[in-house]
Amino acid sequence: MGVAGCGKSSLGAAVAADQALLLIEGDNFHSAASRDKMAHGIALTDADRAQWLVTLGLQLAEHPQGVVLTCSALKRAYREQLRQAAPGLRFVFLEIPQAAAQQRVASRGAHFFSATLVDSQFATLESPVGEAGVLRVDALEPLPVLTRRVADWLHEEEAA
């Protein structure tokens, strides 16, 4: 979880492959209207995200054996809604400086998410640091390092 440009898709794919789990890209479940808004630089509201979060919760519930879901989950209320759908859900928070996120999003090219929305993502973000079941990582670390940190954390959590 984290703001646009933090590397959710890259780390999610790496962790899913490493853990032999299904990867679900949360962005694939946005409505056409929401995707259009974001493409035009219009930030989503809680109302825009409501059905999306319900759908993601259903996706989590359909995979009780485990799954990797990429999702911004910017507000604590969004994370709580997902936790209700999947008790024991854990989050990896990819923390990134705003300038680095802006640069990454601007370099994406044909992605539907407008780079003008990065500021609104940071304004909306309620840091999950301190919440149970959250691992904070530095999004600027190399992908293999992040993948190993997540794998180690998942196995420590299972052993606890």
| 1 assigned to some structural domain | no
pLDDT at 141 (0 to 100): 98
In Å, the largest CA–CA distance within the chain is: 46
Q: Please, what is the end-to-end C-alpha distance for the chain in angstroms?
A: 23
Considering the entire predicted model, what is its pTM?
0.90
User: Which amino acid, residue 38?
Assistant: M
| 32 assigned to some structural domain | yes
Write out the residue range of the structural domain in which residue 109 sits: 8-159
We report the CATH number of the domain holding residue 60 as: 3.40.50.300
Query: From CA 160, how far away is CA 80, in angstroms rounded?
Result: 22
| 12 assigned to some structural domain | yes
Question: Tens digit of pLDDT for each residue in 3-40?
Answer: 989 999 999 999 999 999 999 999 899 888 888 887 78
| 2 assigned to some structural domain | no
Total tally of structural domains belonging to the chain:
1
| 155 assigned to some structural domain | yes
Residue 111 has pLDDT above 80, yes or no: no
